[in-house]
Chains A and B, each alone.
Chain A
């Protein structure tokens, strides 16, 4: 059985909880999804959403929509948001300075899922995250 969950919100810190709630709902509906898989895609989604919030232009209202698909072999998250095209993404990898206080979000997201890509489609930034489920 497959499942699909969606939520929309303004890209502000307080709406990150909407994503946590949606993921909790999916976990409750699909207890067979392993704790590791559920936790890993949650981490990746929250990091990407956090980046969107953090880098949103101050003068602009950014709206996002998020959809999670629970499929037999994978979990797929798609986060779309308005605003200018996201460019200049850093090279993958953690900061060289172990004591750096920031700069780990994207690398953490990449480490937690099997596929992470960003596209700019029809004026929307689209982040797709895929976590292959444990056999």
Chain B
């Protein structure tokens, strides 16, 4: 998986993922978001547009990242999730805490 982080100088960071978010990629994603939050970002947008598949490890990494952002008095939102990712969120009831937004622009509305 490729992880591309932009706008790291501000409070809002966009993290674009490209590839499967699985047990190989999950630890890297968690570390990457922890690093940007420790560098001062508080609001994290995770763009899942190019993620064809997510497993429970990937979901765990998003939860860990969400907790990290909230500890910094910020938040984490996800955008561009496909049907498979949305199904994982629904089956695990996590669509209640990780609401899937259609686009990054929509997800960042109000920040």
Contacts and interface: CB of A to CB of B under 8 A. Distances in A.
Contact of B63 (A20, A101, A112): A101
B67 interface: yes
A43 B55 contact: yes
Contact of B91 (A42, A54, A111): A111
Contacts of A100: 60, 63
- Size range of the interface on B? 20 to 34
Interface of B: 20, 22-24, 53, 55-57, 59-61, 63-64, 66-67, 83-84, 87-88, 91-94, 96-97
19 contacts: A13-B24, A14-B24, A16-B24, A20-B53, A35-B83, A46-B53, A50-B22, A50-B23, A98-B97, A99-B67, A99-B97, A101-B61, A101-B63, A102-B56, A102-B57, A104-B60, A105-B55, A108-B55, A111-B91
